[in-house]
Amino acid sequence: MKVLFCNPPWHRQPEKGEPGFRGIRAGSRWPHTTPYHGGDLVGNYLPFPFFLATACALAAREGFDARARDSVALGESYAAFFAAVEDIAPDVLVLETATPSIENDLTIARQLARPGRYLVLTGVHGELEQPGFLRREQAIDFILIGEYERSCVNLLHAIRDGQPQAARGRFNHIGHLLYRDCGEDGQERIVKTPDVALPPLDELPWPERDRLPAEHYFDQAGGLERPQLQILTSRGCPYGCIFCVWPQMVYKGHSYRRRDPKDVVDEIEANLAKVAYRSFYVDDDTFNIDRRHVLAFARELQARGITDLPWGAMCRADHMDEEVLTELKTAGLHTVKYGVESADQAVLDAIDKRIRIEQVIEQVELTKALGIRVHLTFTFGHPSDTAESIEKTIALATRLPADSVQFSIATPFPGTKMYDHFVAKGWLKPGDWERFDGAGKAVARTDSLTQDQLEAYVRRGYRDRLVARARERILESDAFRAALRERMTQAFPAGSAVLVLQSAPAELTRALAQVVTETGYRVHLLAHRRFADELDGAASAQLHLFDNTGDFRLEPLRELAQGVRDAHRPVGALIPFNNALGTGYEHVIEVARAAVGDWIIGVTMDGTMRPL
């Protein structure tokens, strides 16, 4: 029996000057979209679909012809996806969905429904647990709830073994399942089976990776490099943050399960033998819950000699200390993510974060002092947030010595305590699920803040932090100016044309253009047209704008790059980086070479210069 596990396409092309979007779904604790202006559909952040890939591996281990297809990671068009499914012709199709993508995914399911083919829907969306949803969506045969690998394969066995289609209760032995059954009166009824205990993690196989695009899965926090291996050492979190989706909807509680560290490192070694990974990321819900587990993992890496491969993980600041950080750094730890959420203690208490802001500040400073990079996440729009608490949070984010930050808007996904609270308060109306995307859009208001205010605060948070860093590290840094002047004057005379590419936040590009101009050179800026207003008047630079692609790709930009070269003879190029290592900038560098030749310098937001 053929089984296809799918993370289907989820994107929209730009139209009439308006950007489209590309979506992130399977593997993400926070499904969301990012603006898409054309070009590559694979963005710079892509989580590995662990549930989907592990279910595929488990099905294959138990004798099914199982395959996994991640259309998001492939950057696959809808037409290519539909053609691939028809070519494979699966008997069972498992589709992973999420709240903001549910309408997209139901449209796909309806097009793929065929007589004799079973469609199974799974993923994180509160409606899936409501019998009325399955009754309404006739294209769907089964719905699996939460962590679904074992239940899914049990369902596959029941289908393959040919249990009589008319037998009542034929799937009742399978946990976490909704299906159609026939009642005693002959009428259809929807059965929801009870939850069952989740299996020990070491009973599950390693996830299927061989048929997935390994080079595309990536979390660039702190400047980790690609290709990147993503790995799990545990599942679950004992804390009760009211906004957090997976403990409430996937694990159905606050259990915490660990893998044997030796098995984890076995998996890392096996994958390193197949792919030349340059980093790995531990994608646990909270990596450092269990101190002994974390230390055992670090020491196992050291015992195997895997200490030169940089890696990162999401951690809680209050579970970190100097001994653990030192041991982890010895094992190659490069970046720690800390979830801060808010600088206001009352806000943290209201969302049941169970942490003191002083602990966060102390551990961020300690982590940086030990030479480990730090990525911080902040969220605006919590139930007790006010303009004052958000201002306080932005100020803290600007002041802390983090290498990178993320600002988002609280998104009360259905099935969470936050959702129930927002609905009860009248701050949120159920439905229109596509709006549930907190990357930059607010789905709800609070008593203190409108949706427009929340969206503006996200933009301001990034801008304030970037402006402060650009001012400190570039505009007002005598050391940076002297180093740049020395590099440029040794290479070519003052008055020459220099190209700056708009490949990072506009604040950094403007700062670079100003310093280059003040050093005595003529600046030309190569940028997408959407940045025209932000860059207008930047240090008297001449703008060269494009809109035939959404990102830096050589083929669509070759003519423009060569035109700049022939008309203005730039002698070198500066490429602003939005990460520490220039990860993901290969295509930008190709465009720069077409315009200027070999003298190219990358500049990070910290003011570090990297010859390319």
Is the pLDDT at 438 greater than 90? The verdict is no
Is the pLDDT at 258 greater than 90? The verdict is yes
Least confident of 369-378, 445-454, 599-608: 599-608
DSSP run (H or E) holding 544: strand 542-546
Band the pLDDT of 167: cuts 50, 70, 90.
low
Distance CA 591, CA 576 (A): 14
Distance CA 62, CA 153 (A): 8
Amino acid present at 407: F
CATH class label, 477-611: alpha beta
Distance CA 573, CA 485 (A): 14
What average pLDDT does the segment 133-145 reach? 97
Residue 493 DSSP class: -
High-pLDDT (> 90) share of the chain, %: 83
The pLDDT assigned to 170 comes to 83
Distance CA 287, CA 339 (A): 12
DSSP run (H or E) holding 334: strand 333-341
Is the pLDDT at 164 greater than 70? The verdict is no
Mean pLDDT of the chain: 94
Is the pLDDT at 588 greater than 70? The verdict is yes
Q: Which of 150-164, 465-479, 552-566 has the highest mean pLDDT?
A: 552-566
pLDDT tens, 512-560? 999 999 999 999 999 999 999 989 877 789 999 999 888 899 999 999 9
Is the pLDDT at 401 greater than 90? The verdict is yes
pLDDT tens, 495-507? 999 999 999 888 8
The model's pTM is 0.90
What average pLDDT does the segment 433-461 reach? 93
**Structural domain spans, the chain:** 2-192, 218-472, 477-611
What average pLDDT does the segment 376-392 reach? 97
pLDDT tens, 313-342? 999 999 999 999 999 999 999 999 999 999
Structure tokens at 274: 């197949």
Q: Work out the angle between the directed axes of helices 387-399 and 451-470 (0-180°, nearest 10).
A: 20
Burial zone of 478 (CB within 10 Å; 0-12 exposed, 13-18 middle, 19+ buried): exposed
Residue with tokens 């911080």: 376
Cβ(377)–Cβ(408) below 8 Å: yes
Fold of the CATH domain 218-472: TIM Barrel (3.20.20)
Cβ(323)–Cβ(291) below 8 Å: no
Q: In angstroms, what CA-CA distances link 607 with 222, 464, 477, 484, 505?
A: 15, 17, 9, 10, 14
pLDDT tens, 205-230? 999 999 999 999 999 888 899 999 99
Query: Residue 275 — left, alpha, or beta (φ > 0 → left; ψ -120 to 50 → alpha)?
Result: beta
The pLDDT assigned to 380 comes to 97
Cβ(140)–Cβ(109) below 8 Å: yes
